[in-house]
Amino acid sequence: MLSILRKARLKDKEMRILMLGLDNSGKTSIVKNIMGEDINTVSPTLGFIIKTIDYDGYKLNIWDVGGQKTLRTYWKNYFEKTDTLIWVVDGTDRERIDDCRQELEGLLLQERLMGASLLVFKNKSDVAGCMSSEEIRKALRLDTIHTHRWNIMECSALTGLNLQEGLKWVVQDAKDRLFLY
């Protein structure tokens, strides 16, 4: 039933993307960069922001939800009808990578996120000394994920590195997964 509903919505070429990650990972900066907005005026998201962008003929509704520890219990309120979860990882935050993994593992167990794809954006890839994609892949145990289609991409909210490629993957994955053309 869920896939039928998704197919119906995607025939209208509309997708719901949920962007989550720990605080200070760069979620809002990524969204602002994608939208062509000034990224020098970013402050912590104390709730959520919804932005809509037309991409490759699809209407992408991006839900950027705050990642502070006190807000994470509210994430479940945003799961409904999610087509793709974009999990943003701060590539420089080695101290919290275990917290990052635990939060992601908890999300992937949620029934309302079943069927959603997962794009892991390794943000701050332009910073010297950041973790490699392989380090992130191992730390998050991505190879053990068999319940969701997933991909990991290096990105930079500041330079825009791979942000458009990430959106391209999201749209192509939805087309492939849901037999759209």
Contact criterion met (CB below 8 Å) for 27 and 124: no
The torsion angle over the Cα atoms of residues 107, 113, 114 and 119, rounded to 10 degrees, is -80
Catalytic residue among 68, 102, 110, 164: 68
The span from the CA of 4 to the CA of 111, in Å, is 16
Q: Check whether 25 is labelled as a binding-site residue.
A: yes
Q: Check whether 123 is labelled as a binding-site residue.
A: yes
Longest CA–CA span in the chain (Å) reads 46
The token duo for 101 is: 């993994």
Closest CA to 180 of 2, 1, 15: 15
Q: Check whether 22 is labelled as a binding-site residue.
A: yes
**Is 68 among the residues known to form the active site?**
yes
Q: Check whether 129 is labelled as a binding-site residue.
A: no
Q: Check whether 26 is labelled as a binding-site residue.
A: yes
Q: Check whether 132 is labelled as a binding-site residue.
A: no
Contact criterion met (CB below 8 Å) for 4 and 10: no
Q: Check whether 27 is labelled as a binding-site residue.
A: yes
Q: Check whether 117 is labelled as a binding-site residue.
A: no
Q: Check whether 126 is labelled as a binding-site residue.
A: yes
The span from the CA of 155 to the CA of 160, in Å, is 7
Q: Check whether 61 is labelled as a binding-site residue.
A: no
The span from the CA of 67 to the CA of 71, in Å, is 6
| Residues placed in the known binding site for GTP | 21-28, 67, 123-126
Residues with catalytic annotation? 68
| Residues placed in the known binding site | 21-28, 45, 67, 123-126
| Residues placed in the known binding site for Mg(2+) | 28, 45
